[in-house]
Amino acid sequence: MLTLGTLPLVVIPIVVATAALEGVALARRRGRYDWRAFGVSVADLVGRQLLLLAPISLAAPFLAAAYEHRIVTVPLDTGWGLAILVLGQELCYYWLHRASHEVRWFWASHQVHHSPNELNLAAAFRVGWTGRASGVLIFYLPLAFLGFDPVAIYVVHTLNLLYQFWLHADWIPKLGPLEWVLNTPAHHRVHHAANPEYLDANYGGILIVWDRLFGTFVAERPGVAMRFGQVKPVTTYNLLAIEFGEWTAMLRDLTRADGWRERLARIFAHPAWRPDGQGLTAANLRRARRGAAALTAPPLSG
């Protein structure tokens, strides 16, 4: 019988084997495949499973307390109960994922997922080791308080991430009307692109409707070549540097910060925040691109 405990034993070999098969196919079709990056992703996955043997979750006590003081108990043996849980989890995941890009504390963990410079199935399971320790699951507190068991919340969260595995295949085309409702490979390509016009967009897990509702949806643009990875590309294959590089950079910035206001900003502001306002944020990069375009545009005749 498949349980939460045995699920990884079944799923992990399947996703790794599928990613490896994709790697072989892409190597034949494109003439190259970054097998070293594949190895880093596998090492990240193995390390993350080992860390589960000594689980450290900053959010777990808060989720347990919220559930203990829940408003009601929502039954999950009914279709409507499950539907509300899945929809509510999707909404909470949207804000969890958005904060993971807009708040440096959470980005320090999530940046591991955006460290590959190529988008493929192996990138899907490079998630990082410090997410649970950072407390990112705190975004599910409303669900626990409303009456959903934290275990059920975590199961649906896991299934959400499993759905996203196939979204990392950059060779899957647009899927017609499904693009209006579901998060698809085309939408997720935008999310992983480092182009200024694509940054900070498409945070949905299974659905794309929250991005459309909250103004973070960006469609894939024909003719715009995508560069995957981070704004500053990660060029190392050192697993520890990838896992903990942003944490050490944050600590270094804190030791150099001028006053408590800057220290707080170094932790909770946008990952690219700088005191002089010249950080590599999406807004600044887009502004710079518009300025460069204006300088190179031909003069108006008249």
pLDDT of residue 9: 76
Among positive and negative, which fits the CA dihedral 144, 147, 151, 153? negative
* Distances, alpha carbon 185 to alpha carbons 14, 109, 205, 207, in Å: 19, 23, 11, 12
pLDDT of residue 296: 52
pLDDT of residue 223: 84
Separation of alpha carbons 219 and 226, rounded Å: 12
Instruction: Please list the pLDDT of the chain residue by residue as tens digits (302 residues).
Output: 455 666 777 899 999 999 999 999 999 999 999 999 999 999 999 999 999 888 788 999 999 999 999 999 999 988 999 999 999 999 999 999 999 999 999 999 999 999 999 999 999 999 999 999 999 999 999 999 999 999 999 999 999 999 999 999 999 999 999 999 999 999 999 999 999 999 999 999 999 999 999 999 999 998 888 999 999 999 999 999 999 999 999 999 999 999 999 999 999 999 999 988 777 777 777 776 666 554 454 554 44
Query: With a threshold of 0.85, does the pTM exceed it?
Result: yes
In the chain, domain spans: 7-241
